[in-house]
Structure 1
Amino acid sequence: MIASPRSWSLRARLLVTQVVLLAVVCAGIGLATEFALQRFLMNQLDEQVVEAGRRSSVIYQFGPPPPPPDIGTSDGTMDPPLPRPSRRLMIRDNEGPGPEFLNAPGQAILTVGAVVAGGRVLDAGMITTDGARAAIPAAAAAQLAELPADERPVTVDLDGLGRYRVVSFPAHHPGQSVVAGLPTSDVDDTMLWVAAIFCIVAAVALVGAGTAGVVIIRRQLAPLARVSAAAQQVADLELDRGEVRLPTPIVKVDPAAANTEVGQLGSALNRMLDRIAGALSARHASETRVRQFVADASHELRTPLAAIRGYTELAQRKHDELPDDVAHAMSRVESETERMTRLVEDMLLLARLDTGRPLEREPVDLSRLIVDTVSDAHIAGPDHTWELDLPDEPVAVPGDEARLHQVLANLLANARTHTPPGTTVTTSLTVDDRGAAVLTVLDDGPGIPVWLQPEVFERFARGDSSRSRRGGSTGLGLAIVAAVVRAHGGTIVVHSVPGRTEFVVTLPGDSQPRHSGGPSEA
């Protein structure tokens, strides 16, 4: 299928437009030339036809002129006979069908002639290419008999003879007319040759114009190509997080071409990128301050939370001596303190990962880690069905065992918290062709809402806030999972539809390249 012109590049559209316009101009010039040349040649032929018709009419009325007399010399002897003139200069002495005026001086070869009376042909013939007279087909003679004697040339396609330009003159005898005609083959051949030559010249011109157009358009649009490449370079940058450094200026603008369309576009792009760079720098500075504040606040909150937990545990030792309402209040303080402690620890971990703090790099047996983590999940969620799908051989990757344990624990806790009892959660481990470990957590629960899936790894993202709070969720579990996986140089993706939700974690093996640094790096 041919692509729509709207999908073509600007170079292609300019080149095609140029060639098409030139082709239209060439076609217009060619048609005008052919028309003018055809009119000129036909006018010349009409003059010859009218002259042949008048000559034929006069000769038919008065007879052919006598041959020239012999001329003697001064000594009384006779000159040698004159050489025979051409067939256009004297009466031919041949006999044959057709009127005698066909033998008159000036008659050209292939001339047709006829004497018509009362719509019937009395005599008709033509001059052949060797100068002899010959009969013409009866159908052609009948066509000549239909011509009005108005002395105006007309074009007739004579049966068996081709196209002719013929004219009819009234004869001296009442009711008779003399018809003479010449073929249009010379005119047609000339027109055909001119058209062929013009087509060849036009084709060469179009090829030359196309080649020159490619060179000219490429040179003229080179600055625009540089602008496009620069814009693509910026588009490939990761602008969503971390510090972004844009090249300045992104497009070099020639001062001499600053007022051109491409120069104005490059200048506008440079100004726009300067504004974007300033906004990104301000955003990064704000994010840095926020992350530093979160890290500092999380660190500072650990001490008072530890004190609160200590006092609540001390009070809980005398639970039986406390009034019921006070004992209930202390229980609530203890549970909320534990929840806030987990939240502070999660925020502190994210802050550390944001700063790019390196993790431990020790061989981690993922098979054993999965067995231990799924066993813990089975105790925490006995109403769910927990299944394992592990390879026969242990799979090990370099990394931080505690953090990888937290990744899997958070994924299983997410499945337990956001799916109803009776849901089957399957944890599987495979090794791909590149030697990377692929960890998959699959459940047959209700799935993640479509609107939430793009933000599921963002911080404090919740699909059902009330349910999440009842389950003890802080909204940071999947954010921690994504940050830890990125810190290990891996990837995590989610695919979710009703009845099937799948989290896939890919961790590089010993032979896989790892990207150092946390998620804040761009």
Structure 2
Amino acid sequence: MRRRWAGWSLRTRLVALTVVLLTLVLTAIPLITGLVVEASLHAELDDRVNKLAVVLRAEDERRQRHRGTDPTRCPAGGSGRDGLGFIRSAGTLFGTVGVETRDGEVIDGAVLDRAREGLRPLTGEQSAAVADMPPDRGPRTRTVPGLGDYRLIAHRAHGGEVMITGLPMGEVENTVSRFLTVHAGVSVGGIVLVGLAAAAAVSLTLRPLRRIAQTATRVSEQTLHKGEVAELERVPEGDTRPGTEAGQVGAALNRLLDHVGAALSARHASETRVRQFVADASHELRTPLASIRGYAELTRRSGERPPPRTAHALRRVESEADRMTSLVEDLLLLARLDSGRPLAPAPVELSALVIDAVSDARAVGPEHRWRLELPDEPVRVEADPDRLLQILVNLLANARAHTPAGTTVTVSVHEERGGHPAHGPGGEPVGRGERAGGDAVVITVRDDGPGIPPELLPQVFERFAKGESSRSRVAGSSGLGLAIVRALVLAHDGTVDVSSAPGRTAFVVRLPYETTDTTGTADTAEPAEPAGTAGGTGSAGGEAPEPGAEQGPPGTRATAVAPARAGTGTA
């Protein structure tokens, strides 16, 4: 019951509580009032019965005068004028009963009948029901068969007879019953009306709270975790009156939103300053780093051969200068993307771009096995070619740097129509992004390395996130590569996702694209020649891979780029 009560809305609880309390009150009032009315009517009936007792005593006196000192002079009993005739005396009501007994035996019994307008004899059963009335004890209640409940009183006469008379209680019971019935009907109608009125009043009273809740809901739907936040909506002034509870809540929410807005503005200003600092520092560092690298190379290539230790130190200076230059360039790129600098989109033939990126990766990491899965038809997207190539290069560099030698890295490309859930040629899920529908091209980079630790997976696209403890074979990565991938994909209105398990890690990039007519464009969609250059497994002019090359699923071109140099065979 508590769970059900807790699940009700405030409006429902207030109306239910009002109706329940009103029901209890309207139930108690008629019960108490009915008891009081019933007691009052009983008291009035007892007064009438006591008046009948006076009639009994007068009848006893009359009989005593007629008898004199001889008890046998006037016979007792009978329904004649000397018997129960006193029932018809002035003031008695129809339904009045009279019974006369002697020594416990019924002598006579009659009831004043409205239909006959006279006395009607009682049956033996009816007379016996009241014959045991104790005399001179006050009114008592007895049930007379066929007649109902009676308030009776008995008087012992001088001759030894017991004279019993009484009035019916039916009128009292009918009055109380009608009172309770009327009151119950009025109560039910009142409960219904009050319930409806309470529901309307509570709804009207809680309307400001609903408006406050709607304001809070709209604020919660805003993007508050990043970037510049628009002005937060406030509760209307009419719902912030301090004299009402809802107004106090509205005013408190406005104060909270003021603090939140100030904090978000301060955060955005701080982020802007940090981004500007990073951009300025990165820009300013490029020149001295170039100078350091140039002077080191100049010294190393001078006519005089330096000592081995000095030569090693110069090579290390050049290497670290190159690494720092790469880090500075990455930071500068992120700063530019954060500032919203626009891209330079152009039509890009994706298959050729992927082949170029994989060829470069094979040249840098010949100890890995590189594999392509491309569609038979060219795939074109509207994207910044340099940034799209950087996405591929960073994903391939991440796979190369964080997996051991001999790992197979597969890059696949396929189309996705109408936003339906798609799977790559290798069966991998393409992930979920912000775009719920529309055509998309899906690029998947997967490897069969050791995988990413589950605890690192949610932060893998964060800046300076590193996974050397599980996947890395080479320490020293900046931790910015995947952050740049995400920033560039989002700048293209795409999505990027990752799934990982031991033996299989897949990065999935989905980019929106418009289907275009490829008629007459075969000369620009021929990717076989770079493939042959990359791995020696294809032939110029777009012919199929040589026998022994790895084949992909139907509808794709599978090219295995050999781990050795061109001409050494396929993987």
The TM-score range, normalised by the shorter chain, is: 0.7 to 0.9
> What do residues 377-411 of structure 1 show as CA deviations (whole Å, max 9, x unaligned)?
67766787777776665554322233233334434
Hey, what does 1:306 align to over in structure 2?
290
Distance in structure 2 (CA, Å) of the matches to 1:103 and 1:18 = 56
Check whether the contact 2:53–2:153 (CA below 8 A) recurs between aligned residues. Answer: yes
Check whether the contact 1:126–1:136 (CA below 8 A) recurs between aligned residues. Answer: no
1:205 aligns with 2:190: yes
Hey, what does 2:266 align to over in structure 1?
282
Q: Secondary structure at the match of 2:382?
A: strand
Q: How far does residue 326 in structure 1 lie from its aligned partner after superposition?
A: 3.4
Check whether the contact 1:298–1:345 (CA below 8 A) recurs between aligned residues. Answer: yes
1:38 aligns with 2:38: yes
Hey, what does 2:463 align to over in structure 1?
459
**Structure 1 vs Structure 2 CA RMSD:** 4.6
The amino acid across from 1:243 in the alignment is E
Q: How far does residue 270 in structure 1 lie from its aligned partner after superposition?
A: 3.5
Distance in structure 2 (CA, Å) of the matches to 1:217 and 1:504 = 53
Q: How far does residue 15 in structure 1 lie from its aligned partner after superposition?
A: 3.3
Matches within 5 A, 1:436-451: 436-437=439-440, 438-440=442-444
Check whether the contact 2:152–2:167 (CA below 8 A) recurs between aligned residues. Answer: no
Distance in structure 1 (CA, Å) of the matches to 2:308 and 2:50 = 135
Q: How far does residue 292 in structure 1 lie from its aligned partner after superposition?
A: 1.0
Distance in structure 2 (CA, Å) of the matches to 1:94 and 1:122 = 10
Q: Secondary structure at the match of 1:489?
A: coil
Q: Does the C-alpha gap of structure 1 residues 216 and 462 become closer, same or farther in structure 2, counting only changes over 3 Å?
A: same
Hey, what does 2:337 align to over in structure 1?
353
TM-score normalised per structure 2: 0.68
Q: Does the C-alpha gap of structure 1 residues 173 and 493 become closer, same or farther in structure 2, counting only changes over 3 Å?
A: farther
Range moving further from structure 2, 462-471 or 192-201: 462-471
Q: Secondary structure at the match of 1:507?
A: strand
The amino acid across from 2:11 in the alignment is R
Q: How far does residue 230 in structure 1 lie from its aligned partner after superposition?
A: 3.1
The amino acid across from 1:273 in the alignment is L
Hey, what does 1:24 align to over in structure 2?
24
Hey, what does 1:47 align to over in structure 2?
47
Distance in structure 1 (CA, Å) of the matches to 2:405 and 2:353 = 25
Range moving further from structure 2, 341-350 or 34-43: 34-43
Q: Secondary structure at the match of 2:154?
A: strand
TM-score normalised per structure 1: 0.73
The amino acid across from 1:15 in the alignment is V
Distance in structure 2 (CA, Å) of the matches to 1:454 and 1:55 = 104
Q: Secondary structure at the match of 2:237?
A: coil
Q: How far does residue 358 in structure 1 lie from its aligned partner after superposition?
A: 1.0
The amino acid across from 1:133 in the alignment is R
Q: How far does residue 353 in structure 1 lie from its aligned partner after superposition?
A: 0.6
Q: Secondary structure at the match of 1:4?
A: helix
* Paired residues, number: 480
Check whether the contact 2:231–2:261 (CA below 8 A) recurs between aligned residues. Answer: yes
Q: How far does residue 345 in structure 1 lie from its aligned partner after superposition?
A: 1.7
Identity of aligned residues (%): 48
Hey, what does 2:216 align to over in structure 1?
231
Hey, what does 1:78 align to over in structure 2?
none
Q: Does the C-alpha gap of structure 1 residues 463 and 185 become closer, same or farther in structure 2, counting only changes over 3 Å?
A: farther
Distance in structure 1 (CA, Å) of the matches to 2:138 and 2:48 = 12
Distance in structure 1 (CA, Å) of the matches to 2:158 and 2:462 = 113
Q: Secondary structure at the match of 1:363?
A: strand
Check whether the contact 1:305–1:337 (CA below 8 A) recurs between aligned residues. Answer: yes
- Please list every run of 5 or more consecutive structure 1 residues that lacks an aligned counterpart in the other structure: 67-92, 512-522
Q: How far does residue 294 in structure 1 lie from its aligned partner after superposition?
A: 0.8
Q: Does the C-alpha gap of structure 1 residues 53 and 318 become closer, same or farther in structure 2, counting only changes over 3 Å?
A: farther
Which of 505, 509, 512 pairs up with 1:508? 512
1:332 aligns with 2:316: yes
Distance in structure 1 (CA, Å) of the matches to 2:121 and 2:184 = 39
Distance in structure 1 (CA, Å) of the matches to 2:106 and 2:448 = 103
Distance in structure 1 (CA, Å) of the matches to 2:510 and 2:492 = 10
1:476 aligns with 2:480: yes
Distance in structure 2 (CA, Å) of the matches to 1:408 and 1:238 = 29
Check whether the contact 1:128–1:134 (CA below 8 A) recurs between aligned residues. Answer: no
Check whether the contact 1:151–1:167 (CA below 8 A) recurs between aligned residues. Answer: no
